[in-house]
Structure 1
Amino acid sequence: MAVADFNQIRRSEHLPARIAAQIAREITEGRISAGEKLPTEHLLSKTFGVSRSVVREAIAHLRNEGLVETRQGVGAFATDIERRQSIRIEQENLSDKASFRSLFQLRLPLEIEAAGLAAIHHTSDDLLKLDEALSQMTGAAKWTDEGILADLAFHRQIAAATQNEYFLLFLGFVAERIHLAINAARASAVLEEIVEVTIAEHLAIRDAIASRQPNQARQAMHEHLVGAASRIELQLEIF
């Protein structure tokens, strides 16, 4: 299996991140006021010429950065300045391999621990949502950008299944930037191989969580993350 040259990450342009950056500028520069409702998913998808799933991913970026809050059945609203997160990692900063490796290194302990906690604390609804994400990853859309969005949704749902809102907050923030790794690996490897290997790794994680086996879940996540790093030629420090 071929592995990605890190330069591919530098060239990758992830559509949801680009759209989120444009909306973020509207918010931070005051053209969308605090408390103001963002346009609907339908209108944003028409404006940017993308699918609604891409718009939802962009809104997730903004939510994880504290720039918007979403209200079920109502929509997304710009947050007050004092409620916004002070931590920001600009996407272009991750074009530097050392910076990207540091972010991936942070992901390792957080996601391994999350997998173990999810195995203990997940609900039937959490498992249903994991299976929904897996279904999208393994269906006809697995070769497309929809498959990448499903991959990210799978990891966010594991964080949610910990029943610890801080895991969801921090891992959501990190995961939105790790999508570059998925793009780079897919672009540089034999797509059929990279997708099938990734699916198998996710299935192993899901099965361990569903069986409420925290040690196996942690091990499966460990193997997935190490494999994901190797596919983009990142050498992590493993202890």
Structure 2
Amino acid sequence: MSSETVRTRRTGPGTQRSGRVSLVATVSDDLRRRILEGRLNIGDRLPSEAELTRQYSVSRTVVREAIATLRYENLVEARQGAGVFVRNNQPANAAPFSQLDYARISSIIEILELRAAVEMEAAALAATRRSPAQEEAIAECYEDINTLIGAGEPTHDADMAFHLAIADATNNPRFREFLALLGLDAIPRAMLRPGADIRTPKEYLLKIQDEHRQIADAISLRDEQAARDAMRTHLIGSQQRYRARLRSGSASERNT
């Protein structure tokens, strides 16, 4: 990806790109616990974004993503010009798509088909609507994946963050809500039984990352059709790979 197309991010204490996804989980988990335990009551205002940034020693991006997680769980709500307030202090009911059969490749294919129908249009909209900051967020997520591949660490969390950044760039919050409902199950190689081996061959990850690059480039260049086509190639290609496994009966080998 060219330097003109993708801009990387300056990092500081607590904001290493390879750990941003886990930092989001840390912040959202702590705030959720404070709400559910009654330390923050319904109607209470959460600390400001700047205060949370200082409190947790994380970036504003991490704080925003953590708050977004709580919003989609219906625990907090944003009020224009006033801040973010506790809306509910009860855990959300089990989300749709939460009862997938992890042992079946057919479940993966079903999710990929659904994602393709939605995310192709999301990529096209992102290409026409994205702001410079949203373009940068997509680039940061792309580089997160590169960092993890280089370190030999799992990439499924960062992969999900990349797709969420594209959803955000549509400037239509329903796209993020859709992916949030799917959760990590949107990433096929994360749909494994607890304790399963989730290591993925580096060559496969590099191929997927090249597909990510083409999506990010098209969005950066505001090429609506190219973005749609690149997302289609990415998700339809994944479907084809899993259909091939289904035909060969190699469900037990599913680790990518």
Shorter-chain TM-score range: 0.5 to 0.7
1:102 to 110, 117, 141: 110
In structure 2, C-alpha distance between the alignment counterparts of 1:102 and 1:58, rounded to whole Å = 28
Give 1:30 shift: 8.7
Q: Supply the AA of the counterpart residue of 2:178.
A: F
- CA drift of 1:108 comes to 1.2
Corresponding position of 1:150 = 158
Structure 1 segment 5-44 matched on structure 2, within 5 A? 34=42
Larger Rg: 2
Distance (whole Å) between structure 2 residues aligned to residue 26 and residue 113 of structure 1: 37
SS of the residue corresponding to residue 104 of structure 1 reads: helix
Q: Secondary structure at the match of 1:173?
A: helix
Q: Which has the higher contact order (CA 8 A, sep 6+)?
A: 1
Find the counterpart in structure 2 of residue 218 from structure 1: 228
> Residue 216 and residue 188 in structure 1: after superposition, are their counterparts in 2 closer, same or farther (change >3 A)?
same
- Asked if 1:88 is matched to 2:95, the reply is yes
C-alpha change, 1:24 and 1:229, in structure 2 (3 Å) is farther
Shift of 1:29: 10
Aligned CA distance change for structure 1 residues 140 and 151 (closer, same or farther; 3 Å): closer
| TM-score when normalising by structure 1 | 0.63
Tell me how far 1:64 sits from its aligned partner: 2.9
State the distance in 2 between where 1:151 and 1:222 align.
Answer: 16
> What count of residue pairs does the alignment treat as equivalent?
207
SS in 1 for 2:166: helix
Paired with 1:66 and 1:112, the residues of 2 have a C-alpha distance of 27
Structure 1 residues 167 and 183: CA distance shift in structure 2, 3 A = closer
Give the structure with the higher percent helix: 1
Q: What are structure 1's unaligned runs of at least 5 residues? A: 1-14, 45-53
Which of the numbers 131, 135, 142 marks the counterpart of 1:134? 142
Separation (CA, whole Å) in 2 of partners of 1:26 and 1:100: 35
Deviation at 1:227, TM superposition (A): 2.0
Match of 2:74 in 1: 66
Q: CA deviation at 1:182?
A: 2.7
Where does structure 2 lack aligned partners over 5 or more consecutive residues?
A: 1-21, 47-51, 57-61, 247-256
Q: Root-mean-square deviation (CA), in Å?
A: 4.5
- 1:111 and 2:112 are equivalent in the alignment: no
Out of 96-105 and 182-191, give the one that drifted further. Answer: 182-191
Q: Are 2:74 and 2:92, in contact at CA under 8 Å, matched by a contact in 1?
A: yes
Please report the TM-score for the alignment, with normalisation by the length of structure 2.
Answer: 0.59
